[in-house]
Chains A and B, each alone.
Chain A
Amino acid sequence: MGETVSVINTVDTSHEDMIHDAQMDYYGTRLATCSSDRSVKIFDVRNGGQILVADLRGHEGPVWQVAWAHPMYGNILASCSYDRKVIIWKEENGTWEKTHEHTGHDSSVNSVCWAPHDYGLILACGSSDGAISLLTYTGLGQWEVKKINNAHTIGCNAVSWAPAVIPGSLIDQPSGQKPNYIKKFASGGCDNLIKLWKEEEDGQWKEEQKLEAHSDWVRDVAWAPSIGLPTSTIASCSQDGRVFVWTCDDASGNTWSPKLLHKFNDVVWHVSWSITANILAVSGGDNKVTLWKESVDGQWVCISDVNKGQGPVSTSVTEGQQNDQ
């Protein structure tokens, strides 16, 4: 009963140029992709199939990222592009259409990330103009914009929201009354820094923390989902080849300590946590995606390499699991 990592489906996106991002929706039933060919495509991938649901045109440059909103808001997808725009697409009556366009940036928008659904429908966007903008849906097709200028000098490369944590007691709030969430997100930029942002009571966003450890541009940050423990965890990766895992013991306040996961030989572009935050996937310049897990003694162990190449489709090599001791 060996556990193998196998390709279970291959979707031919027919993108005419480089694919920059691919994202599964909440349930794993749909796939959104975006490309240098300026299009955003959506596929239905249930049961190993692949049906093109939409081919969305609207960007005037390579599209860097896509992000699915929580299904309770409907089928909504955000995309950001070199053309300095962020477009929000929505499915209405079975067809996908552009529902909003945000043009508030002076430079390429590199990253988009939806906030936890508990906060409402809020999108954070990071741009090469150094600013981060936050779009909040206020109803009736209206989006309110808040902008953090000069968040990172030279440019912002990544944004990632903290999971929603209800502060104080967990008594069920009466209906209609929203609990007072403390909204936070992390950003990574060309100033080699990771910054943590917090929304103040007056609705303004303030820089709460700077995390310094990288010696080159921070390419991606990923705030781990909450698994019910009092610690917060953020992963970051950089042009300097390093991946750090930052933890903060919430009881003590705001001290974040970095732990070096690994130093790669090349730029590390992308980090991402699995749904239950127990595996961190890292995409590196060494052309591999590696999966990492934390072992008993707090060390990070590589459990799998997903390597691209000309090899056969499913080489069933029994996966070496991490030790549980």
Chain B
Amino acid sequence: MEEFDGEPTVTWIPGVNSQKKQMCFDWGPGEMLVCETSFNKKEKSEMVAGCPFIHIIRKDIDVYSKILRKLFNESHGIFVGLQRIEEELTGKSRKAQLVRVSKNYRSVIRACMEEMHQFAVADKDSAIGRQFSSQVSILSAMELIWNLCEILFIEVAPAGPLLLYLLDWVRLHVCEVDSLSADVLGSENPSKHESFWNLPGNTQTLTELELRWQHWHEECERHLQDGTFASNPHLESLCKVLLGDDAALLEHKELLSNWYHFLVTRLLYSQPTVKPMDLHLYAQSSLDLFLGGESSPEPLDNILMAAFEFDIHQVIKECSIALSNWWFVAHLTDLLDHCKLLQSHNLYFGSNMREFLLLEYASGLFAHHSLWQLGVDYCDHCPELGRVSLELHIERIPLTTEQKALKVLRVCEQRQMTEQVRSICKVLAMKAVRNNRLGSALSWSIRAKDAAFATLVSDRFLRDYCERGCFSDLDLIDNLGPAMMLSDRLTFLGKYREFHRLYGEKCFVDAASLLLSLMTSQIAPRSFWMTLLTDALPLLEQKQVIFSAEQTYELLRCLEDLTSGRPLCGEPDAQQLQDDDIETTKVEILRLALARNLARSVIKEGSLEGS
């Protein structure tokens, strides 16, 4: 049975007849298609034009926002740095480093917030401006939550300093100055207050501090009871506040922006040395008192409350639901995991929460034309499921330019993702063939180690040669090296080109041997033999004798083989059916040339001149 945790969102697709029709859909790599249809397969159509529109929908426009892109880029840098933190560092230095990382993340959020704020202000009255404004407030909430988590979970402030951290936290995020504290400084016993505030660097122990505070607190109480301030209701109220009187504080509710401001103020005046484990008691009551039953807690309140209760998993869960953006939850969880605060919380399919969240975030990045590279790093740092996730995503990245294709391939090769390399190279080879870029197609098939495709491309090269009398992409063919062995046809192509080179360099004897061997070794396809024999003609016609008698016999045998019309295994003999006259003439010329060469070579070998 399913559970519904919060209402699922309904997204309306426009213009579709909701009465009669259904919607069909498909997944794209980063989006979804929907369109109206009727699944009831009727043979006769209703001849009623349905809605001809197909809507492409996508979650998450965030990846496409320029300002947020900076957030993604910079946080990526912090993330990768965090993964590389020395494991040996323990205790204080490790903690200090983790706190630093946390502050880095927060400063990145703040920078993003400030930039967006400027846009919001500039475009104040438009819809875009309002959108920016709302994004600013969301970022602000994120920073608020992160900061609190930093204090409670990472900094792990002990009793005493905890309140100071919380004070800073509230001051940072609450715009209004705590006007009460300003009053306090101006009131009686300022010296006592000043020394109170001198806590950082203070050499007093917690107990001493508590004692002093107790003493001061008692004095205040005495003043109140004695009616010292009776003549001045304002001062009396102030005194009550100083004593941490809830009612008095709440009277000035308008000065407190929210319940956590109220909480910290309460603590300041009643429990300055509050211990972390007691925090949640005051938090809950602060929330209840502040809201006073008039309104219910908002998602942000729930998140903060979970933090005060030191329930990290609840914080993450609430954030996932409320923020609906993986960036925050993924990075925070990862950091907390590095602080060794998450028990490996096993999800149903065996992975852990950190990986789950990071991979959800990374999935969103892959949809983007350049941010995909960041996604790769996130996958890399998920030892259990990252690799497979990367494999699935990387093949779907559109290879729009050669540069991008090379980048993607490099990523795959660096990670020994051989299947993906092959698949991508095959796609590129196919594209190149379709665009008639044979050299490119050949090099991609070689890289893919795709023998079949290499054969196909080699055939195209040879066909081109026959038609045009010259080779394209000579550089590539000349420098095949061991790759030549990938397929027989490719080897033939390489060797055939070598023959032409030798001929060009006038190494006729070597060229002749090579030419003959191409036929006798069966590397040359039958269909090409006529061409090869024709290539032999100039060698036969030279003044010097090039082919030996034995070689000439071989050539004759090849010619007879070819012309005898013997059935060949698998090779279509289409060539022999065409242009019979031309063929016959060619054959005649060859026979003549071979016979003449035979005669000359016999004579030459028979005489005493030797070699």
Residues of A in contact with B (beta carbons under 8 Å apart) = 1-24, 26-29, 31, 33, 36-37, 45, 61-62, 64, 70-75, 82, 91-93, 108, 110, 117-118, 172, 175-176, 219, 225-229, 231, 260-262, 267, 269-270, 272-276, 278, 281, 283-285, 287-292, 294-315, 317-325
- A17 and B44 CA atoms in complex are apart in Å by 11
Q: Given A3, A17, A284, which contacts B60 in the complex, CB threshold below 8 Å?
A: A3
Q: Given A18, A272, A299, A304, which contacts B11 in the complex, CB threshold below 8 Å?
A: A304
Q: Are the C-beta atoms of B392 and A275 separated by less than 8 Å?
A: yes
Per the CB 8 Å criterion, the residue count for chain B at the interface is 109
**How would you classify the secondary structure of chain B's contact residues: helix, strand, loop or mixed?**
mixed
- A10 and B34 CA atoms in complex are apart in Å by 10
- A138 and B102 CA atoms in complex are apart in Å by 58
* CB nearest neighbor in B for A71: B427
- A260 and B2 CA atoms in complex are apart in Å by 9
Known: A7-B57, A74-B434. A19 touches B13 (CB 8 A): no
- A243 and B564 CA atoms in complex are apart in Å by 68
- B residues 362-400 near A (Cβ < 8 Å) are 363, 385, 387-389, 392-393, 395-399
Q: Given B53, B349, B360, which contacts A12 in the complex, CB threshold below 8 Å?
A: B53
B22 is an interface residue with CB less than 8 A from chain A: yes
B423 is an interface residue with CB less than 8 A from chain A: yes
- A270 and B34 CA atoms in complex are apart in Å by 12
- A287 and B18 CA atoms in complex are apart in Å by 7
> Chain B nearest CB: distance from A274 CB in Å?
5
> Chain B nearest CB: distance from A72 CB in Å?
4
Chain B 10-45 per-residue mask, 1 if CB under 8 angstroms from chain A, else 0: 111111101001111111111111111111010101
> Chain A nearest CB: distance from B490 CB in Å?
12
Q: Given A91, A270, A303, which contacts B25 in the complex, CB threshold below 8 Å?
A: A270
* CB nearest neighbor in B for A176: B451
* CB nearest neighbor in B for A233: B349
* CB nearest neighbor in A for B388: A228
Q: Are the C-beta atoms of B387 and A228 separated by less than 8 Å?
A: yes
- A17 and B50 CA atoms in complex are apart in Å by 6
5 closest A-B pairs by CB: A311-B12, A228-B388, A24-B28, A72-B426, A320-B6
B68 is an interface residue with CB less than 8 A from chain A: yes
Q: List 12 A-B contacts (CB under 8 A).
A: A1-B323, A1-B327, A5-B11, A16-B52, A19-B51, A26-B395, A28-B28, A61-B43, A285-B22, A311-B12, A321-B321, A322-B5
B122 is an interface residue with CB less than 8 A from chain A: no
Q: Are the C-beta atoms of A269 and B56 separated by less than 8 Å?
A: no
Q: Are the C-beta atoms of A300 and B10 separated by less than 8 Å?
A: no
Q: Are the C-beta atoms of A62 and B56 separated by less than 8 Å?
A: no
Q: Given B48, B52, B58, B325, which contacts A8 in the complex, CB threshold below 8 Å?
A: B58
- A299 and B572 CA atoms in complex are apart in Å by 61
> Chain A nearest CB: distance from B190 CB in Å?
45
Q: Are the C-beta atoms of B23 and A289 separated by less than 8 Å?
A: yes
Q: Are the C-beta atoms of A270 and B24 separated by less than 8 Å?
A: yes
Q: Are the C-beta atoms of B451 and A175 separated by less than 8 Å?
A: yes
- Chain A residues near B33 (CB-CB < 8 A): 22-24, 31
Q: Are the C-beta atoms of A325 and B313 separated by less than 8 Å?
A: yes
Q: Are the C-beta atoms of B18 and A117 separated by less than 8 Å?
A: no
Chain B 427-467 per-residue mask, 1 if CB under 8 angstroms from chain A, else 0: 10111001000000000000001110000000000000000
* CB nearest neighbor in B for A227: B388
Q: Are the C-beta atoms of A296 and B10 separated by less than 8 Å?
A: no
- A45 and B353 CA atoms in complex are apart in Å by 36
Q: Given A12, A72, A228, A298, which contacts B385 in the complex, CB threshold below 8 Å?
A: A228
Q: Are the C-beta atoms of B11 and A22 separated by less than 8 Å?
A: no
- Chain B residues near A71 (CB-CB < 8 A): 427, 430-431
> Chain B nearest CB: distance from A292 CB in Å?
8
Q: Are the C-beta atoms of B12 and A307 separated by less than 8 Å?
A: yes
B46 is an interface residue with CB less than 8 A from chain A: yes
- A200 and B5 CA atoms in complex are apart in Å by 46
Q: Given B2, B6, B32, which contacts A261 in the complex, CB threshold below 8 Å?
A: B2
Q: Given A64, A73, A272, A295, which contacts B430 in the complex, CB threshold below 8 Å?
A: A73
- A3 and B57 CA atoms in complex are apart in Å by 13
- Chain B residues near A306 (CB-CB < 8 A): 10-11, 13, 23, 25, 32, 34, 57
Q: Are the C-beta atoms of A307 and B451 separated by less than 8 Å?
A: no
- Chain A residues near B55 (CB-CB < 8 A): 7, 9-11
Q: Given A10, A13, A18, A308, which contacts B46 in the complex, CB threshold below 8 Å?
A: A18
Q: Are the C-beta atoms of B12 and A312 separated by less than 8 Å?
A: yes
Q: Are the C-beta atoms of B57 and A11 separated by less than 8 Å?
A: no
Q: Are the C-beta atoms of B24 and A283 separated by less than 8 Å?
A: yes
Q: Are the C-beta atoms of A276 and B363 separated by less than 8 Å?
A: yes
Q: Are the C-beta atoms of B45 and A22 separated by less than 8 Å?
A: no
- B residues 248-265 near A (Cβ < 8 Å) are none
Q: Are the C-beta atoms of B30 and A28 separated by less than 8 Å?
A: yes
Q: Are the C-beta atoms of A269 and B22 separated by less than 8 Å?
A: yes
- A82 and B249 CA atoms in complex are apart in Å by 77
Q: Are the C-beta atoms of B423 and A22 separated by less than 8 Å?
A: no
Known: A24-B29, A287-B18. A309 touches B12 (CB 8 A): yes
Q: Given A10, A16, A274, A285, which contacts B54 in the complex, CB threshold below 8 Å?
A: A10
B209 is an interface residue with CB less than 8 A from chain A: no
Q: Are the C-beta atoms of A308 and B58 separated by less than 8 Å?
A: no
* CB nearest neighbor in A for B45: A36
- Chain A residues near B427 (CB-CB < 8 A): 70-72
Q: Given A298, A301, A315, A324, which contacts B4 in the complex, CB threshold below 8 Å?
A: A301
Among A1, A10, A225: residue with most chain B CB under 10 A = A1
- Chain B residues near A91 (CB-CB < 8 A): 434
- Chain A residues near B68 (CB-CB < 8 A): 1
> Chain A nearest CB: distance from B58 CB in Å?
5
Q: Are the C-beta atoms of A7 and B14 separated by less than 8 Å?
A: yes
Q: Are the C-beta atoms of A289 and B25 separated by less than 8 Å?
A: yes
> Chain A nearest CB: distance from B143 CB in Å?
12
- A143 and B9 CA atoms in complex are apart in Å by 46
- A22 and B321 CA atoms in complex are apart in Å by 32
- A284 and B451 CA atoms in complex are apart in Å by 46
- Chain B residues near A93 (CB-CB < 8 A): 434
Chain B 288-332 per-residue mask, 1 if CB under 8 angstroms from chain A, else 0: 000000000000000000000000011011001101110101000
> Chain B nearest CB: distance from A109 CB in Å?
11
* CB nearest neighbor in A for B357: A324
> Chain A nearest CB: distance from B2 CB in Å?
5
B98 is an interface residue with CB less than 8 A from chain A: no
> Chain B nearest CB: distance from A152 CB in Å?
16
